[in-house]
Every structure is written in structure tokens, then in C-alpha cells.
Amino acid sequence: MCSRPAPWPLVRGLRIPVSETHSDGKDTTTTTYQNLVVGVSTPGARPTLEITKEGLGQRFLGAIGFKDLQLESEEFNRAFKIKTAQNKFAYDVLHPRMMEWMLADQRAIRFPFRFERSTW
């Protein structure tokens, strides 16, 4: 069996500093956070699928008719916003066991993820 390295890095990581500045009119404080973005190459292109935490803005938009993809789990729909270029791909990825795991694991709620072309 011959083992050759892939022609591209399979996993890439990038730290992105994000600063927030707050002022109370008298004092100003700046806090810097380190966001880590990780890309994992997949063997072939996939449709875009982005899964993020559902927020008040999305709930408001949903109330006036702008809805993201809704799955069979109401609990999952309340917790996550799903944006996709192809519904079938989202249904294939977000099967009942995956939704159950994502609802139980706080990392899935805190860290959004995205499939785009050949990277997720």
C-alpha cells in the first residue's frame, strides 16, 4: 500500500484577533479576543451549508416571513439557523442523530460551522 501526502493541506488553522472597545463616557476599555478559524479539506465539492446559533434577529425575521431551513426537530429549529444552497445536502448532513448530538454538545451551539465547496 502506497501512502502519498495529499496535494493540499487537509487542515488549516488561523487565529483572528477581534477587539471590542467600550466607553462609559469617562473611561474606555478595549478587550481583544482570539477567534480560531479551522478549515478541513474534503475530497470533493459540496454545496454551501452554514449552521449558526439562532438569535433574536433571526427569530424576528422568521416572524415576518424570512425563514431559514426548518427541520423536523422544533428544538433544533429554535437553537440553530440553517442557511444552505441545497436543502437535500442539509437534510443529509443534519439527520436526527446529528441534531441530537448538536443539541447536547455546547460546542455545536457556541461555534458555528460551514461547508463551502471542498472545505468545512
Model confidence pLDDT, tens digit, residues 56-75 = 655 555 555 556 788 889 99
The letter for the amino acid at 85 is A
For the question of whether the overall pTM of this predicted structure is more than 0.75, the answer is no
Domain spans, the chain: 11-119
Average pLDDT, integer, range 82-99: 89
Contacts for 34-39: CB closer than 8 Å, 24+ residues apart: 37/13, 38/11, 38/12, 38/13, 38/14, 39/11, 39/12, 39/13, 39/14, 39/119, 39/120
pLDDT at residue 118, rounded to an integer:
57
Nine-digit cell string for 107: 460546542
Average pLDDT, integer, range 45-57: 78
- Rg, C-alpha atoms of the chain: 18
pLDDT at residue 59, rounded to an integer:
54
Neighbouring C-alpha atoms within 13 Å toward the C-beta of 16: 7
Q: Is the pLDDT of residue 100 over 90?
A: yes
